């Protein structure tokens, strides 16, 4: 059973950084992505990483957000730098649920429909 849990959100000032974590206590997966949704806006894909450390970023966060993983800890991280008020949102991680040995080639946060399992989210609030 997939059980993703996000942590690391909080209330910060513009220009600050945060590091979010997404963990499943039991498994590693082929693809894990990070997403966010601000009030009144559609959910936005940010970044995704596969089991071979292939990474894809949305153009909107390239150079400012960094996705990484620690397979030994079943954890995928999202480092958020130089935050602004526009980054205020609920941040979610999600996975396709396939095992890390799957060997797929599609891992991309732009393909939201392929992410079947979602965490509950962690709130990031940035004050200007």
Give a three-class secondary structure readout of the chain: CCCCEEECCEEEECCCCEEEEEECCCCCECEEEEEEECCCCCCEEEEEEECCCCEEECCCCCCCEEEEEEHHHCEEEEEECCCCHHHCEEEEEEECCCECCCCCCCCCCCCHHHCCEECCCEEEEEEC
Q: Are the beta carbons of 42 and 24 closer than 8 angstroms?
A: no
Confidence of residue 103 (pLDDT cuts 50, 70, 90): confident
pLDDT of residue 104: 84
The predicted-structure confidence for 50-96, as pLDDT tens digits, reads as follows: 999 999 999 999 999 999 999 999 999 999 999 999 999 999 999 99
pLDDT of residue 105: 86
The 10 Å Cβ neighbour count of residue 54 is 13
The predicted-structure confidence for 1-30, as pLDDT tens digits, reads as follows: 889 999 999 999 999 999 999 999 888 999
113-119 mean pLDDT: 95
Closest-CA residue to 90 (of 42, 124, 48) = 124
């Amino acid at each position: 059973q997939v059980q993703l849990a996000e942590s690391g959100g909080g209330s910060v000032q513009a220009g600050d950084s945060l590091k979010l974590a997404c963990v499943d206590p039991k498994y590693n997966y082929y693809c894990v992505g990070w997403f966010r949704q601000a009030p009144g806006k559609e959910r936005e894909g940010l970044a995704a990483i596969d089991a071979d450390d292939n990474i894809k970023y949305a153009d909107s966060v390239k150079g400012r957000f960094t996705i990484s993983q620690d397979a030994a800890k079943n954890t995928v991280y999202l480092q958020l730098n130089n935050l602004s008020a526009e980054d205020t949102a609920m941040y979610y991680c999600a996975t396709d649920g396939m095992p890390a040995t799957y060997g797929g080639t599609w891992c991309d946060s732009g393909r939201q429909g392929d992410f079947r399992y979602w965490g509950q989210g962690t709130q990031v609030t940035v004050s200007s």
